[in-house]
Amino acid sequence: MKLLIIEDDPEIQDSILAYLSPEGYICEQAFDFTEAADRMESFDYDCLLIDINLPDGSGLDLIRRAKQLKLRSGIIVITARDAINDRVKALEFGADDYLVKPFNLAELNARIKSLLRRIRFQGNNSITYEELEIFPDSFQVLVKGQPLELTKKEFELLLFFVSNAGRVIAKESLAGQLWGDDSDFSYSFDFVYAQIKNLRKKLREKGAADYIKTIYGVGYKFEKE
C-alpha cells in the first residue's frame, strides 16, 4: 500500500515515516501544498494523510482537488486540536477520517488499515478472488484453503493486482506501488518482471489459475480466463 504524507513539520513527517515504513507501507512525502498537488496529480496513492495548515495553501483545498480529480485514494486529515471548524469542513469536502494532533502512531496505523478495508475490501478483514483469499493485515494468502508462502514484495504485488482486478495497470504504476515513484524505474522494471514471474510460478504450483495477463507495450491486467 502506498501513502502520501502531506505535512510541513519535519519531525512529525519523520515520526510517521519511521513508524509506518516497517509496517509494509510505501511512504512518500510532501512538505507543502504545491508539492502535494503535483504528486496527487502525477501518481496513484492508496491513502493521503493531509495536514490542513500548509505554508503555501490549505489542506482543505487539496481534499477538494482530490475529489475533482476523482482519485481513488482514502483521505485522513491531520488537524490541530482546536480546529473544530476545519475538521467539519474536511469531512464535508470528502475526507474519510481525521486525527487530532498530537496523535498516537499506533492509532494512525489502525485508522489507515480500517480505511483501506472499507475502500478496497468492503470492510472485510480479507479479500477473496476466486480460489484466492488474502489477509492484508497479517500478510497471509490462501489458495484453495492452503497457505501460500510469498515474499513481502510478491504479497504486495498480488494484493495490488487483486485490488485492481480487471483494470489495465501500467508497468510504471506497478514499479511505483512497490518501490515508490522516486525509484529508478529502469532498475525497478527488471524487478517487476522478476516478481511477476515468481508470483505466477508460485500460484500455479498451488493450483491457482494464471490470472496475470500481459498487455504488450502497456503493462498487465489481473482477470479471469
22 DSSP assignment: G
Are residues 35 and 49 part of one domain?
yes
Share of the chain above pLDDT 70, in %: 94
188: helix, strand or coil? helix
182 and 115 within one domain? no
| Whether residue 102 sits in one domain with residue 192 | no
Judged against a pLDDT cut of 80, whether residue 9 lies above it is answered with yes
Q: Is residue 185 located within the same domain as residue 97? A: no
Q: Are strands 2-6 and 26-30 parallel, antiparallel or unpaired?
A: parallel
Is the model's pLDDT at 131 over the cut of 80? yes
Cα first-last separation, the chain: 27
Phi, psi of 224 (to 5 degrees): -70, 165
* Sheet strand arrangement including 97-100: 26-30, 2-6, 47-51, 74-79, 97-100
Q: At CA 117, angle to CA 103 and CA 47, rounded to 5?
A: 55
**Cβ atoms 158, 135 nearer than 8 A:** no
Residues 25 and 55 in one domain: yes
Co-location of 117 and 134 in the same domain: no
Contact 168, 127 (CB under 8 A): no
Does 203 lie in the same domain as 189? yes
CB atoms within 10 A of CB 223: 14
* pLDDT for res 182: 59
Give the E-state strand segments of the chain in sequence order: 2-6, 26-30, 47-51, 53-54, 57-58, 74-79, 97-100, 127-129, 132-135, 140-143, 146-147, 168-170, 212-215, 219-222
Helix (H) / strand (E) element for 164: namely none
Query: Average pLDDT for residues 9-18, to the nearest whole number?
Result: 93
Write down which residue in 103, 121, 139 finishes a domain: 121
Q: Are residues 95 and 7 in the same domain?
A: yes
- Residue 120: pLDDT over 80: no
Starting from the edge strand earliest in sequence, which strands make up the sheet with 168-170, in order? 168-170, 219-222, 212-215
Predicted confidence at residue 44, as pLDDT, reads 85
The confidence score (pLDDT) of residue 2 equals: 86
What pLDDT, on the 0 to 100 scale, is given for residue 35? 94
The DSSP code for 32 is S
What is the residue range of 216's domain? 127-222
Query: Mean per-residue pLDDT for 36-63?
Result: 92
Determine the pLDDT at residue 186: 52
Asked if residues 58 and 36 have their Cβ atoms less than 8 Å apart, the reply is no
| Same domain for 131 and 109 | no
Query: Are 30 and 4 within 8 A, CB to CB?
Result: yes
Does 211 score more than 80 pLDDT?
A: yes
Average pLDDT of the chain is 87
Q: What is the pLDDT of residue 13?
A: 93
pLDDT in tens, 177-198: 777 765 555 556 777 888 899 9
SS3 103: coil
Residues 167 and 99 in one domain: no
Structural domain count, the chain: 2
Of the three residues 121, 142, 168, the one that is the final residue of a domain is: 121
Distance CA 139, CA 131 (A): 17
* pLDDT score, position 59: 92
Instruction: Dump pLDDT digits (tens) for 54-112.
Output: 999 999 999 999 999 988 889 999 887 667 888 888 888 999 999 888 889 999 998 99
Residue 75: what pLDDT? 94
Residue at a domain's end among 96, 121, 146:
121
